[in-house]
Amino acid sequence: MAIYNKTRQQLRHLTARLCNDLIIGTVASPASGTFVCTATDWEKADDWFNDYVEMFCYSGTGIGTSGKPTGWSNSSPSYSHVLTFKPAATLTVGDLVEMHQVFTVATYNDFMNQAIDMVAKEALINKVDTSVELETDTYQYTLSTQFLFVNSIELESSTAGVYNSENPIDDRYWRVIKATTTKIEFVKDWWTPTDGRKIRISGLASPSILDTDDEECPLNPIYISYQAAALLHQSRIRSDSIDSEFHRAQMTLCQSMADRVRKTMRVGIGGGQAVVET
């Protein structure tokens, strides 16, 4: 199990808090294009949320529903704590929603993936592949595209799923072939594949970008959230205005923290064979 396993949704909330751009709440009394929310953070004046860029349902029956807030009524006894949004959709009681004033959910997700890509060659993660099955007189096998380095290959024993971890295949007997399709090649004169046996390939891979809200990230969440926040603040610097100065200062603070954490994320490759040019 990875040390870190924050989901994309959890990382987004961490990042949004660094940008002072997150309010969450629970849906009550939903109707088409409206719902009630009485959470403390929602105790705002009428029309307070009209300039927010997105309401997004991140958990519950309505998960994935998104809309632009168009009205907020908190003073009328008949319409207290009512948010309206477009395009109209009907959520469900108990759905959890997040509200953003500055950046959309898609923007947060994109910038978090940029943060992951920035450490693709240094914050490597352990990867094991047991999908390759040997065949008689076949010496080349396709290697998973996620591998950056291969450290060892173990042969399955006569018992399915049990590998000879104490005596891996000598690394003089195999090599990585870098081509359009990357392959593991066994040296024909030195080693003979056993038909029907699987091999366990162990190595290092780049962390994958996050495609869904429930996908987990194995990287330090402090790095992801602070690096993404730094990039987001940087994107708002346009001139020498007061707003730009605020974002410039926040960018500097967030980048400093991200850089400190990034230094602890570098992984030694050991004696692994490189799969791609680094």
Domains along the chain?
Answer: 22-101 (2.40.30), 125-205 (no CATH)
Question: Which of 21-30, 137-146, 211-220, 234-243 is predicted least confidently?
Answer: 234-243
This prediction's pTM: 0.86
Quickly tell me which residue has 């066994």 as its tokens.
186
Question: Which of 60-64, 70-74, 178-182 is predicted least confidently?
Answer: 178-182
Mean of pLDDT values over 224-230: 98
Query: In the structure, what pLDDT confidence band is assigned to residue 278 with cuts at 50, 70 and 90?
Result: low
Query: In the structure, what pLDDT confidence band is assigned to residue 77 with cuts at 50, 70 and 90?
Result: low
pLDDT of res. 267: 74
Mean pLDDT of the chain: 93
d(CA 84, CA 55) in angstroms, rounded, equals 10
d(CA 242, CA 248) in angstroms, rounded, equals 10
Quickly tell me which residue has 């602890």 as its tokens.
264
Assess whether pLDDT exceeds 80 at residue 272: no
pLDDT of res. 79: 67
Question: Which of 1-5, 130-134, 264-268, 269-273 is predicted least confidently?
Answer: 269-273
d(CA 8, CA 16) in angstroms, rounded, equals 12
Mean of pLDDT values over 98-111: 98
Query: In the structure, what pLDDT confidence band is assigned to residue 26 with cuts at 50, 70 and 90?
Result: very high
